[in-house]
């Protein structure tokens, strides 16, 4: 379940609204992945489908996890007490 968003644009996409600040071509896939995140009861639930490529992050993002939207864009979040916290869509290569 998603507890909070770190980005208003990510929250817009989750609610089916169009974000002008994120590429339109990723928003449909991003929304689908956000629904997976909302439905997850356990972090392991995000291992399927394999295209999520759930990863534990390091460095500046230590303590966070990510699932892939595509090769460039990720949904990053922290997992606390069975909930996704500070969820945001990020350009992982910036």
Domain extent at residue 65: 8-91
Residue 93 predicted with pLDDT over 80: no
**3 in a domain, yes or no?**
no
Categorize the per-residue pLDDT at 17 as very low, low, confident or very high, splitting at 50, 70 and 90: very high
Work out how many domains the chain is built from and give that number. 1
- For 24-64, what is each residue's pLDDT tens digit? 999 999 999 999 999 999 999 999 999 999 999 999 999 99
- Per-residue confidence (pLDDT) for residue 73, from 0 to 100: 98
**CA-CA-CA-CA dihedral for 33, 42, 77, 66, to nearest 10:** -60
CA distance 22 to 47: 25
- As a whole-number percent, the residues of the chain with pLDDT over 70 amount to 100
**2 in a domain, yes or no?**
no
Contact 33, 46 (CB under 8 A): no
**66 in a domain, yes or no?**
yes
**50 in a domain, yes or no?**
yes
- Per-residue confidence (pLDDT) for residue 19, from 0 to 100: 98
**36 in a domain, yes or no?**
yes
Look up residue 77 and give its two tokens.
Answer: 């979040």
- Element spanning 46, H or E: none
Q: For the domain that residue 82 is a member of, what is the CATH number? A: 3.30.2310.20
């Amino acid at each position: 379940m998603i507890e909070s968003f770190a980005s208003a644009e990510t929250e817009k996409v989750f609610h089916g609204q169009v974000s002008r600040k994120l590429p339109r071509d990723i928003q449909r896939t991003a929304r689908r992945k956000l629904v997976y995140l909302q439905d997850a009861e356990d972090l392991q639930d995000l291992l399927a489908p394999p295209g999520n490529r759930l990863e534990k992050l390091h460095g500046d993002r230590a303590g966070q996890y990510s699932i892939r939207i595509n090769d460039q864009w990720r949904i990053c979040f922290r997992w606390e007490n069975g909930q996704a916290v500070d969820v945001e869509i990020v350009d992982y290569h910036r």
